[in-house]
Structure 1
Amino acid sequence: MKERPVSDRQALIIGASQGLGLILADELARRGWRVIATTRRLGGELQDRADAWNGMLEVESLEMTSAEQVTALRDRLDGHRLDLLFVNAAIDRGDLPINEVPTEMFTEVMVTNALSPLRTLEALRDLVAPAGTVAVMSSEQGSISRNTEDGYELYKASKTALNQLMRSYATRHADDGHTKLLIDPGHNQTRLGGFDAPLIPQESIPAVVDVLEAQAGAPGLQFLDRHGETVPW
């Protein structure tokens, strides 16, 4: 597919060094968005993509779990007006039953997957245009009603906590005019999802971007999959 004309739409993607975030940043740039994408370590494939896009994709350094670094990023981006703020960063620490999860591991996963995304949204939300979109990468595994198979209890719990905190965020900021989305991209072949997963990001992420673009301006909070269908809580 050919690149689309450059528009004045601007997106900030938190967590784009690899996997879904990298493909998301690339897909938005391909569609003519101006993209700012963050990574914990500069260089690598994200920088290669940025170089190839000739200014359409910019790279910023960020460790999302550091409140100080999030504040510093906010200061560096002062004056920007975002049409999309998307928090993608997350981790997984394996398939242990909850009684075998060390306290330190539990804290690390919950801080990274639940606390930090919402803390980041709060710090950066004033950069989002009045009709802009605030989105977070969630997962069907965060759905309580669909938790009917064994495994990955800590990761599931962290995504459920993320969804609950996003619900609280949406309630607190109900009148800000922002579209608010939790996105389930499906089970993709990434380092986090495993390379035997049934989906590939190069196919699922364009569908996710279709949803983001279609939902722009929609009121309230929605939990949607890559087809735009509602995921049950």
Structure 2
Amino acid sequence: MIDTRKTALIVGASRTLGLGLAAEYLRLGWDVIGTVRGSRHTGLHDLAEVSGGRLTIESLEMTEPEQISALRDRLAQRTLDLLFVNAAITRGDLPIGEVPTDMFAEVMITNALSPMRVVESLRPLVVPTGTIGIMSSDQGSIALNTEGGQDLYRASKSALNQLMRSYAARNAEDTRTLLLIDPGWVRTELGGPDADLSVEESIPGVAATIEGQRGKPGLHFLDYQGQAVPW
């Protein structure tokens, strides 16, 4: 009997949004590969223990290019229906003129450069009808920035969006779906305790939006309710 279950690789799945997305795809009947940084025990390990073997865990520090290459080699025999990169950091709400150079580099490397390195390296594992997605934010929208604040985080997400758009343009003949997803303002370490949504309220919408775009080539910037986000 042919196994027709789909497989998702979720990069950055140890907690909050990434962990929630891994759990949601398991609930939907998928096999899931989730990455964590280092060897520490995480919520993803707890989830794997009750997954009946459908969740496997890989170690990845995605700011280290050689680790991305090693992950690609380890997964060379796997076929992915979804590659989704969920990773971002913030270092406080400083005006851009007060941001130290090393902080600027750290946030840009983590939030913009590293996700694109993952996409570029692991793309061959994704089936031609599959989906490649990255967790973005409406704070990366230039059109929606009418209040300012969070200068560095906003800039990193705008950079991510621009890089993904360049990637899509360079690969215009690719039949895969490309997604930038805004999960909404979620109560996470990054979103803070006053955010509008819980992970449980955001993630089912994120997964539904991803699935709703399956088979639609090209790049789409959408929120967790499936609505287009202005660039």
TM-score past 0.5 threshold: yes
Equivalent pair of 2:85/2:134 in contact (CA under 8 Å):
yes
Which of 6, 18, 22 is equivalent to 2:19? 22
Which of 122, 125, 129 is equivalent to 1:124? 122
| Corresponding residue number in structure 2 for 1:135 | 133
- Which residues of structure 2 form unaligned runs of 5+? none
CA-CA distance at 1:41 after TM superposition: 2.7
- Which residues of structure 1 form unaligned runs of 5+? 1-5
For 1:7 and 1:56, the matched residues in 2 are separated by 13
For 1:232 and 1:133, the matched residues in 2 are separated by 21
| Corresponding residue number in structure 2 for 1:10 | 7
For 2:171 and 2:64, the matched residues in 1 are separated by 23
CA deviation profile, 1:165-222 (whole Å, cap 9, x unmatched): 0000111111121000000000000011112111001111001100111110002101
| Corresponding residue number in structure 2 for 1:72 | 70
For 1:73, what is the secondary structure of its paired residue? helix
Please report the RMSD computed on the Cα atoms of aligned residues, expressed in angstroms: 1.0
| Corresponding residue number in structure 1 for 2:29 | 32
Equivalent pair of 2:140/2:158 in contact (CA under 8 Å):
yes
TM-score (structure 1 length as normaliser): 0.96
Alignment of 1:145-164 (within 5 A): 145-164=143-162
Point out 4+ residue stretches in structure 1 off by more than 6 angstroms.
none
For 1:174 and 1:201, the matched residues in 2 are separated by 33
For 1:99, what is the secondary structure of its paired residue? helix
Counterpart code for 1:200: S
For the pair 1:105 / 2:103, whether they are aligned, the reply is yes
Counterpart code for 1:182: L
Bigger mean CA offset, 41-50 vs 8-17 = 41-50
For 2:119 and 2:184, the matched residues in 1 are separated by 23
| Corresponding residue number in structure 2 for 1:176 | 174
Q: Percent identity?
A: 61
CA deviation profile, 1:108-150 (whole Å, cap 9, x unmatched): 0000000000011000000000100000000000000000113
| Corresponding residue number in structure 2 for 1:3 | none
CA-CA distance at 1:52 after TM superposition: 1.0
| Corresponding residue number in structure 1 for 2:89 | 91
Which of 46, 49, 52 is equivalent to 1:48? 46
For 1:181, what is the secondary structure of its paired residue? strand
| Corresponding residue number in structure 2 for 1:188 | 186
For the pair 1:214 / 2:226, whether they are aligned, the reply is no
| Corresponding residue number in structure 2 for 1:197 | 195
TM-score (structure 2 length as normaliser): 0.97
Equivalent pair of 1:7/1:32 in contact (CA under 8 Å):
no
Equivalent pair of 1:14/1:86 in contact (CA under 8 Å):
yes
Counterpart code for 1:144: I
CA-CA distance at 1:7 after TM superposition: 5.2
For 2:4 and 2:29, the matched residues in 1 are separated by 5
